Each structure stands twice: as structure tokens, then as C-alpha cells.
Amino acid sequence: MPFGAVLEQVGGLGRFQVLQTALLAVPILLMASHNLLQNFTAAVPPHRCHVPSVTPGPGTTPSVPSATPGPPGTTPDDGWIGQVVLTSSSSPQWDLVCSYRQLRQMAQSIYMAGVLVGALVLGGLSDRFGRKAMLMWSYLQLGVMGTCTAFAPNYASYCVFRFAGGMALSGFGLSIACLVVEWIPTPYRAITVAITGFAYTLGQILLAGVAYAVPHWRWLQLTVSLPFFVFLLYSWWLAESARWLVLSGRAERAVKVLQRVARINKRKEEGEKITVEILKSNMKEELAGLKASYTISDLVRTPVIRHIFFCLSIVWFSISFSYYGLAMDLQNFGVSIYLIQVIFGAVDFPAKVVVTISVSYIGRRVSLMVALFLAGLVIIANIFVSAELQTVRTALAVIGKGCLSASFNCVFLYTTELYPTPIRQTGLGFGSTMARVGGIVAPLVKMMDEYYPFLPPAVYGVAPVVAAVAAGFLPETLNKPLPDTIEEVESRAKRKKTDDPKEKIPLQPQDKAPQKEA
């Protein structure tokens, strides 16, 4: 790519790229803490729901009314009773137990709704105001909203602050992704994205340690929120995306940024050779592409792109839906939630290594299908495992979660390769949106276990199987160049359909010719 030559001129993968990527990866460690924090801040403490005594009338059968919680300190006849052992729980304070237990799932759905809104709103603002500006704003918003959450006086304010925090988390996640990709030369992007992915995995393990060391939920919330003020302070050192600056009409500033990068990479003389004219000349194709207007409607305008769009939407939704269905249900495994959080985080390392090798040699489609099908299979199998066999149930859940994590890595790469350049970011953004919708729906489905205990795991298991079938209808992209236009994607599909007939046509006269000579 033309801009790739500019990156090489200022040092390629130099000291600046390494430092900036490292500084951007550190906040990702705490991304998992906020996504999965409610496993600890809203855990249900040991308790039992009091069933009010009812005197049956003559000839009637005693009935068991539903237990309803009451304010702490009331008599047992008014609500739940029991000793709070898990001090990180917010449930005793706001009575999120017994018949109000479903409000825990609702709070997580509200948080995921904030993540969805943040992807839609802050992602668009990033294209308008810049990656660095939106990154800094997101750091500030998450630091403030996370701190406010720690001092939330009631359940309603807790949900509002969590919603705003979810928005900020989505905003800095998208900005980090753009800054990493747009500053790293093409040959090193895959490994760099993998490193940032491992940072999220490490963050899941870190969460268990922090939650164990800081047992009270308010202090835990504060512990994972205050570091974002530190991230805000050092983010002033980060460099704005030079590519974005050029495409937004700020080429002069882009030159200054590139020259600064060149100095850090000890390529000062090369950097001083860069001028506005040279930069615009190298990026003339990208600048020319700005004349064309592309919208989300282009994802469904042509038949092949529309086909890819619908299949990927199912895959993105199903992976996130089942992933959070498992990851947000740690208490049901019958072991310490701290231990299961470590195990759930650790399984991502081998899972992501295996899928990275698989997509590189076997292919994207087969790797995604196998990971999804295996995830669905083990989740469904858990329905038939006795509750007493906690080790088996935990092992199956860990395998399922690892397969879903591998699917996340695979579908992210697959999506960028299926969509052409003009709508690649739009397609990836909509896929991420479908994942957020899956994250919102997952806790709501979990609420059904109060009435039909087998239903949530059945739904969580069927979803990846359906997604595996949808993935089977996607074209393979292994060792194929990235498409640059919508027309190229459409022509590839038509060419593939007509390959077989074209091969058979010339064979007919060749078969007849020897017969005539004989």
C-alpha cells in the first residue's frame, strides 16, 4: 500500500510502534475487568429465601407462596435470611436475591447496551474528531463513570453509571484497534493484533486476582476504574493516526507527526524528507477513494455482499451470545468463582494459539465451523451431566468457552478479508454491533432458568451450531488477496460458479477428435 511506504520511511516497526502498542495494550488488561466485573460485584451470597407460613383452610392443600426479599434488618417473615459470606456482593445491599435475583442479569444487559451504543456513537465520532481525541475522552469517561459506580447509592444509579461506562469501554476499544492497525506495517499487523488479544486474555486472569485481593465490591469497582485517569495522562504522548490526518484534510499536521515518529525511530533525516506534496502523492489512491460515498446500505445492495453480510451477522451474534452466557455464569459451576475465572481466562491462550495455526494452514471457514460446532456440542452435552459431577461440568464449560474465544479471533480476521476495502470498516463495525446485541440478549435468556433450568444452556448451545452452518456458506479467503472493490467480490463469486462448466466445454471436442482419427 502507498502509505506502507511512508511507514517504512519513518522506521517501519521501530521503537515508536513498540512503545505505542505497549501503552495501548495496558488498558486492554482492564477491559475484561469491566466486561466481567459483575461476576464479583453482583455475586449472590449464601442465603435462603424465607417462605411465609400459610395456614390452609379446611379441605385445602397447603400452598407455597413465592418468596420476596425485604430490606436488610427486617424480620425473616419479610424476606431473605442468611449470613453474607461473599463480601464483594452488591446483592445484600440492594436485595438482588430471591424473586429480585433477575435484576442482576438485567444490570449486565444494560451495561452491554451501553457497549453497543458506544460502538455506534463513539466509533463514528472517532472518524470525525480523530482516534487519539476519542481515546482520551473514553479514558476520562470510563474513569469518572467507574468511580461514580463505586459510590452508587441505589440500583437505578448503578445501572446508569454502568451503561455510561460500557459506552466508554467500547469507545476506547475501537480507538485502540484503529491506532494499532494504522501505525503497524502490514506484515506485522497479524502478530500485533494477536498480542493485544492476549492482553485481554491476561486481563481475565488478572481480574480473579484483583477480585480476591479486594473483596468489597465498591473498592473493587474503584480499583479497576482509577487506573484510567493514569492512562489519560500518558495518552498525551501517543501519536494521532497519520493516515486519518491526511484523509481528513490535515496533511500538514500529519507531516509533523510522521517526522516526530521518525525521530523516535532514529530516522530523523528520512523523516525530514517527507513533505505535504509527497504525502498526498503517496496516498492519492486513498484520497481519490474519498470521492465515492459508501453507506451501510452497501452491505445489502449487491447479492454476494448481502449473502456475506447475513452469514457473518449470525456468526457474530451467536459467538458473543454464547460467550457471555458462559462467562457471566461462574457461580453455577459449584467451585470458587475466583478459580473458575482463572481457568476461563487461561484456556484462551491455547485456544487462540491453535486457531491461529489452523487459520493459517487449514483455512478460515473450516477453522471457524469446527470451533463453533465443538462449542455448541459441549455446551449442549453439559445439560445431560449430573449436577454432582462438577468437575465434568466445569471441564465441558471451559472447552466451550475456549472454542468461542478461538471463534472470536477467527471471525475478526475472516470479516476483514471478506469485505472489500470501501466497506470493510463498515462491515466490521456492524459485525461488532451484532456481537453487542448478543451480549445484551445473553443475560436475558439466563433469566429463564428460574422457570425452565434446561432452556438457557440449550439455547446457548444451539446458537453456535446454527452459526457453524451459516459459516459453511461463506467463501474461503486463505491465501487470497484482499478485495478492493464491491465489484471484485461479486465477480469472484460469479467466476467460481462458472469455473466447472468452462472446464468441461473444451474437453468434449478433445474426446471426439481421437475417435475421428481412429
pLDDT in tens, 266-302: 888 887 888 888 777 766 666 665 555 667 777 888 8
The arithmetic mean of pLDDT across residues 475-490, rounded, is 79
pLDDT value at position 98?
A: 52
262 within some domain: yes
| Of 260, 291, 322, the domain-final residue | 291
- Tell me, yes or no, whether 1 lies in a domain: yes
**Assigned domain for 177 exists:** yes
The answer to whether 320 touches 463, Cβ cutoff 8 Å, is no
Last-in-domain residue among 250, 269, 291: 291
Both 167 and 229 in a single domain?
A: yes
Any domain includes 122: yes
451-469: pLDDT as tens digits: 777 788 889 999 999 999 9
Worst-scoring range by mean pLDDT, 10-19, 78-87, 215-224? Answer: 78-87
Is 426 among the domain residues?
yes
The answer on 175 and 299 residing in a single domain is no
Give the pLDDT confidence score for residue 61 in this predicted structure. 46
Within 10 Å of residue 260's Cβ, how many Cβ atoms?
16
Could you give the CA distance from residue 449 to residue 263 in angstroms, rounded to a whole number?
59
Q: Which of 9-13, 139-143, 397-401, 466-470 has the lowest mean pLDDT?
A: 9-13
* pLDDT per position as a tens digit, 202-246: 888 888 888 888 888 889 889 999 999 999 999 999 988 887 788
What CATH number is attached to the domain comprising 253?
1.20.1250.20
Is residue 129 located within the same domain as residue 107?
yes
Confidence band for 1, pLDDT divided at 50, 70 and 90: very low
Most confident of 17-21, 370-374, 414-418: 370-374
Q: Which domain holds residue 187?
A: 1-47+84-291
Q: Does residue 161 sit in the same domain as residue 185? A: yes
Same domain, 410 and 268: no
Give pLDDT, residue 464. 95
Model confidence at 473, pLDDT cuts 50, 70, 90, reads very high
Highest mean pLDDT among 63-77, 166-180, 373-387, 446-460: 373-387
Total domains in the fold of the chain? 2
In the block, which residue shows the cell 481475565?
204
Tell me the mean pLDDT in the region 70-92: 40
Q: Which of 175-189, 275-289, 317-331, 351-365 has the lowest mean pLDDT?
A: 275-289
pLDDT at 109: 80
In which band, very low, low, confident or very high, does the pLDDT at 330 lie, cut at 50, 70 and 90? low
Look at residue 48 and give its three-state secondary structure. Answer: strand
Question: pLDDT at position 517, please?
Answer: 40
Q: Is residue 299 part of a domain?
A: yes
CA angle 110, 116, 117 (to 5 degrees): 90
What pLDDT was estimated at residue 255? 85
CB 161 within 8 A of CB 145: yes
**Is position 13 within any domain?**
yes
- In the numeric block, the cell 491455547 is attached to 350
| pTM (two decimals) | 0.68
Contacts of 137 (CB under 8 A, 6+ apart): 122, 171
Band (360; pLDDT cuts 50, 70, 90): confident
Ranking 82-91, 112-121, 182-191, 424-433 by mean pLDDT, the lowest is 82-91
What average pLDDT does the structure give for the chain?
A: 77
pLDDT of residue 309: 92
Q: Are residues 287 and 383 in the same domain?
A: no
What average pLDDT does this structure show over 91-119? 67
pLDDT at 430: 81
pLDDT digits (tens, 9 = 90+) for 378-390: 999 988 887 778 7
Q: Which long-range contacts (CB under 8 A, 24 or more apart) does 339-342 make?
A: 339/208, 340/394, 341/36, 341/39, 341/204, 341/205, 341/207, 341/208, 341/211, 342/205, 342/208, 342/209
pLDDT (average), residues 91-115: 65
